[in-house]
Every structure is written in structure tokens, then in C-alpha cells.
Amino acid sequence: MTTASPPSRSAARASFLSPLPLFFVLLWSSGFIVAKFGLPYAPPLTFLVLRFLGVLLFLVPAVLLLRAPWPHGRIGHIALAGLLVQAGYLIGVWCAIKQGMPAGLSALIVGMQPILTALSARLIGERVRPRQWLGLVFGLGGVALVVAAKIRLVGLTTPAILLCVLALLSITAGTLYQKRYCAQFDLRTGTVIQFSASLLLVLPLAVWLEGLGPDFAAVQWTPRFLAALLWSVLGLSIGAIFLLFALIRRSHATEVTSLMYLTPPTTAIMAWLMFGEAFNSLGILGMGLAVTGVIFVVKKPN
């Protein structure tokens, strides 16, 4: 798969308003569901080691078989972006949840990403319009309403908060870095580079902090865990990440990250359908506000 030339602004906008972003939101939102299924059966860093290994086991043979082109002169940039978007973000969120961070509060903290990206947009030569700022504020308010009923402060620790902030800063920096230095690359080989770099970071941390050994003794290989691991590999680390990279390639970073406002409402609906968790009228109002905010951000100006 060769890299196409950057699309025109009108084509990029049309693509951004296609079903592709909505499919990305559905896949990305399932990440918290996967955490709920998988974390009871494995330490967080150990789970991430298995997840990254699984991605490489699927992609490396495909890359070799299809003779996908490797990037020239940008491998370091792609690897660093991967460490920020993959390893830094996932380490922060998963370890925070394992330490007792409520999923709602975690979603609210990470939900600051669109605002943080907009504040940094000038670093990558992008301009945020006044209507987009209004949309970003609407979106954040919508997220706050969705997660308000789910926030519990009992047992909350400073390390858990810091881990969530780490995740927020990491994915924001990674998105901006990738947009500026390596937005265009073959998705197959680029993903292999990013997950290889992430594995090289997470593996020694798992050995040091969680006592990970070759036998993976801390893992309970239940059907539920295996299903969570398989989905995290195929649905999240391959499916959702491929879509994220495609969106970063085609659209402004602020527009892409605004989609994260739709993650908490979508996750809340999934949790309601799968686990019977409450989704009240306040959540419905928040979902509408978040959708309105995203529309304000991505809508083409008249």
C-alpha cells in the first residue's frame, strides 16, 4: 500500500463527515469495555505486553507477505509517535483503572484532549476558528454530564490521577507529533514500527513492576480474558488505530481529537446494553451536547 498524496481540503472534509469517523468512535469506545473484561485476569502491563505481541503476530507476516513498503528517514518519528499514542496513553489509563480510578473520572480527564490539542494547534500550523472553540466547550460539557453520575471519589489516589494525566498528555503530544512529522506512511509497516517500539518500552516495565516471566503466571487464561485480548488486538490496536491514523492523515488534529468527546457517551450506552449500568436523562442530555460540540468543530464553514 503506497501512500497517496494529501487530499484537497474539500475531499478531506467530505471524508471526515463520512461513516469512517463514526466507526472509529464505536471501536475506540469499546476500549473501556475491554478493560472491564480483561483487567480482572491480568496485571495491566502484562496485558499490554500480550496485546502488543498479538498485534505483531498478526501484522508482521502480513507485511512480509504483501511486501508493504517501509518508510525511509521517518522511522524514528513514527516510533516516537507510537510510544506516545500507544504505550504512554495505554499505560496511563490501564494502570489508573487498575489502581481504582473510576472509569467516569478517567474519561473526563482524558476527555480534555480536544481542548489541549486546540490550544497547541499553532505548533502544527493549524488554526482553530471561534465556532470550533464553542464546539470544544460544548463537547467537554457534554462529557462531564455523561460521566457525572458515574464519578466516585472513594479510594481515589494521587498516583491514579497522575497516571490519567500522563495518558492525556501522552496521546495529545503523540497526535500532534504524528500530524507534524509523519502523518503520511504505510499503515501496515508504520503500525509494526509503533507497536514494536511500544513493546520494547512496556516489556521491561512489566518484568520490573509486575514480575512478568516467560510463563505469564499472573494471567488467568479464562474465555473472558481471551475474548478481551483478541478484541483488544484486532478491534482496538489494529482496527481503531488504523482508522485513527487515516483520520490524522486526512483532517486537522483538532477535528480528529474532537471525536474523543463521543467516546464516553458511546461507552455509556455500551455499558448500559452489556452490563445494565444506569444511563439517565442527564446522560442523554450530555450525549446530545457532545454530538453538537463535535458538529460545531468539524462542520465546514459557510
Long-range contacts of 201-206 (CB under 8 A, 24+ apart): 201/83, 201/87, 202/45, 202/48, 202/49, 202/52, 202/87, 202/91, 203/49, 205/45, 205/91, 206/43, 206/45, 206/46, 206/48, 206/49
Going by pLDDT thresholds of 50, 70 and 90, the confidence category of residue 189 is very high
The segment with the largest mean pLDDT, out of 5-14, 97-106, 122-131, 194-203, is 194-203
Is the pLDDT confidence value at 265 over 90? no
- HSE-CB of 60 using CA atoms within 13 angstroms: 10
Is the pLDDT confidence value at 9 over 70? no
State the chain's mean pLDDT as an integer. Answer: 83
Going by pLDDT thresholds of 50, 70 and 90, the confidence category of residue 8 is very low
By the 10 Å C-beta count (0-12 exposed, 13-18 middle, 19+ buried), 167 is classed as: buried
Going by pLDDT thresholds of 50, 70 and 90, the confidence category of residue 155 is low
For position 245, what pLDDT does the model report?
Answer: 84
Query: Span 228-232, mean pLDDT?
Result: 94
For position 300, what pLDDT does the model report?
Answer: 61
For position 3, what pLDDT does the model report?
Answer: 41
Cα-trace Rg, the chain: 19
For position 232, what pLDDT does the model report?
Answer: 94
Q: pLDDT for 60-119, tens place per residue?
A: 999 999 999 998 888 999 999 999 999 999 999 889 888 877 766 777 788 788 888 888
Is the pLDDT confidence value at 188 over 70? yes
- What's the predicted TM-score (pTM) here? 0.84
For position 2, what pLDDT does the model report?
Answer: 37
Q: What percent of the chain has pLDDT over 70?
A: 88
Smallest CA-to-CA distance from 196 within 43, 112, 75 is with: 75
Q: Which residue has the cell 450525549?
A: 287
